[in-house]
């Protein structure tokens, strides 16, 4: 509770439950995933509450919105710089904590001062590989 106070958003029990669910969550949940999980404790909570809370957290820089899954936005409470691998079969997303020393030749930056990058890797996860072999 204490460490959420500095967030500067109104803390309702529902919002706290959303924050709790996100805390340390490495599954990169969608808004629907969060809604499903948290509404078990708060059956009257609306999807809009989840969506609006995510919007506030994003605005405060406390959650990242990932667009790596083409079907739905995914959310990441880990705001440290990192990259992602997504399974093209089950859409599982895992973190890649590594600093790739990438550079673009000046001629290609179109005058931009570059400040960062985010690499999206695509692949087949171990579970899906196993399932495919079993077919």
Does an H or E element contain 127, and which?
Answer: helix 126-134
HSE of 54 in the Cβ direction (CA atoms, 13 Å)? 24
- Residue 119 Cβ vs Mn ion, minimum distance, rounded to whole Å: 12
Neighbours of 8 (CB within 10 A): 10
Rule CB under 5 A: which of 87-106 touch Mn ion? 95
Considering the rule CB under 5 A, would residue 68 count as an interface residue with Mn ion?
A: no
**Binding partner selected for residue 76 from Mn ion, Zn ion, none, CB under the kind-specific 5 to 8 Å limit:** Mn ion
Neighbours of 24 (CB within 10 A): 8
Q: Which of these ranges, 23-31, 32-40, 66-74, 87-95, lies near Zn ion under the rule CB under 5 A?
A: 87-95
Residues near Zn ion (CB under 5 A): 87, 89-90, 92, 125, 128
């Amino acid at each position: 509770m204490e460490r959420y106070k500095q967030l500067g958003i109104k803390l309702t029990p529902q919002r706290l439950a959303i924050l709790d669910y996100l805390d340390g969550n490495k599954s990169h949940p969608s808004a629907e995933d969060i809604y499903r999980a948290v509404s078990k404790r708060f059956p009257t909570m609306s999807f809009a509450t989840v969506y609006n809370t995510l919007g506030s957290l994003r605005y405060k820089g406390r959650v990242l919105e990932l667009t790596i899954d083409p079907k739905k936005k995914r959310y990441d409470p880990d705001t440290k710089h990192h990259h992602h691998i997504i399974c093209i079969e089950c859409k599982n997303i895992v973190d890649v904590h590594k600093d790739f020393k990438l550079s673009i030749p000046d001629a290609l930056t179109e005058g931009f001062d570059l400040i960062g990058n985010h690499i999206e890797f695509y692949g087949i996860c171990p579970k899906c590989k196993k399932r495919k072999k079993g077919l």
